[in-house]
């Protein structure tokens, strides 16, 4: 929080002292540009877990954990003509006092791992899994879509619930599907998703039950559907190239090598 010139002087002095006396610093910061300038090695934390560790240059150029990728994607770049996509991350940071099961980042992750038997696209699975989480948490409410006069039919309300429930709250350039889905808070055309027929049938039935206010039926219907290793198992530290990461997408635990 110092003036820029004073801060630069302090940081450069720290680097000079490090070289002169062979010091090691533990430098803790949310400023990734400073981390890149000051640190030879970096450990990234999310909700209390170190989720990636390695040489700073490697983390910046080739992040292995989706959260690390999102962090460095979010760093502002002064380039008026650059065609840059922002991080594909959904939702808010969970409560640290009650973190999600499994990988703590999985509710927001763009690379959620479908089960082996899933025959649709990864994007479709991610959306279905998020619909399930929101439905079971009571975040999708059929009463919102009854229409101003209360005359909206059950099927129309269910279709609206499904289209809005499967939309992702991600930056516009990362969104998938129709023009309406690109608008913030919009909806997704279900026909543009690569959903297996059985999965689409389950989602439509869940949407109809939500429209009818039958939450117990929704819970029974979705409880065992759209499951992923990312929510079942907390990932061990795994080797991914020259980095170590807690992510099911990569390698094996170094302790087992």
Helices (H) and strands (E) in the chain, counts: 10, 4
Of 66-75, 138-147, 177-186, 226-235, the range with the highest mean pLDDT is 226-235
β pairing state of 49-55 and 41-46: antiparallel
Q: What is the pLDDT of residues 115-145, one digit of tens each?
A: 999 999 999 999 999 999 999 998 887 665 5
What CA–CA distances, in Å, run from 238 to 19, 30, 48, 62, 245?
32, 24, 17, 16, 5
Contacts of 81 (CB under 8 A, 6+ apart): none
- Which pLDDT does position 180 carry in this prediction? 42
Count the alpha carbons within 13 Å of 175 in the hemisphere toward its beta carbon.
20
Contacts of 69 (CB under 8 A, 6+ apart): 63, 87
Contacts of 144 (CB under 8 A, 6+ apart): none
What is the 8-class DSSP label of residue 52? E
| Token duo for residue 107 | 């509710």
Answer whether residue 257 shows pLDDT above 50. no
Per DSSP, the three-state class of 50 is strand
CA dist., res. 69 & res. 53, Å (int): 13
Predicted TM-score (pTM) of the model is 0.83
Domains in the chain, ordered, with CATH? 4-99+236-256 (3.40.50.300), 114-227 (no CATH)
């Amino acid at each position: 929080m110092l003036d820029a010139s004073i801060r630069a002087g302090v940081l450069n002095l720290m680097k000079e002292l490090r070289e002169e006396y062979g010091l090691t610093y533990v430098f803790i910061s949310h400023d990734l540009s400073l981390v890149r300038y000051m640190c030879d090695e970096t450990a990234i934390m999310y909700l209390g877990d170190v989720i990636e560790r390695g040489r700073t240059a490697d983390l910046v150029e080739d992040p292995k954990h989706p959260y690390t990728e999102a962090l460095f994607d979010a760093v502002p770049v002064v380039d008026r003509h650059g065609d840059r996509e922002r991080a594909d991350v959904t939702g808010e940071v969970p409560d640290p006092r009650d973190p999600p099961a499994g990988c703590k980042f999985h509710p927001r992750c763009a690379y959620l791992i479908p089960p082996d038997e899933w025959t649709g696209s990864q994007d479709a699975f991610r959306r279905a899994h998020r619909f399930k989480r929101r439905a079971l948490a009571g975040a999708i409410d059929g009463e919102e879509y009854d229409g101003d006069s209360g005359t909206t039919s059950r099927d129309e309300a269910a279709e609206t619930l499904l289209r809005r429930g499967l939309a992702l709250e991600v930056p516009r350039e990362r969104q998938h599907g129709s023009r309406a889905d690109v608008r913030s808070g919009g909806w997704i055309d279900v026909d543009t998703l690569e959903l297996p027929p059985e999965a689409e049938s389950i989602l439509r039935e869940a949407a109809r039950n939500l429209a009818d206010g039958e939450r117990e039926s929704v819970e029974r219907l979705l409880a065992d559907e759209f499951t992923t290793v990312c929510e079942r198992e907390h990932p061990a530290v795994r080797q991914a190239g020259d980095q170590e990461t807690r992510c099911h997408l990569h390698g094996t635990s170094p302790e087992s090598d």
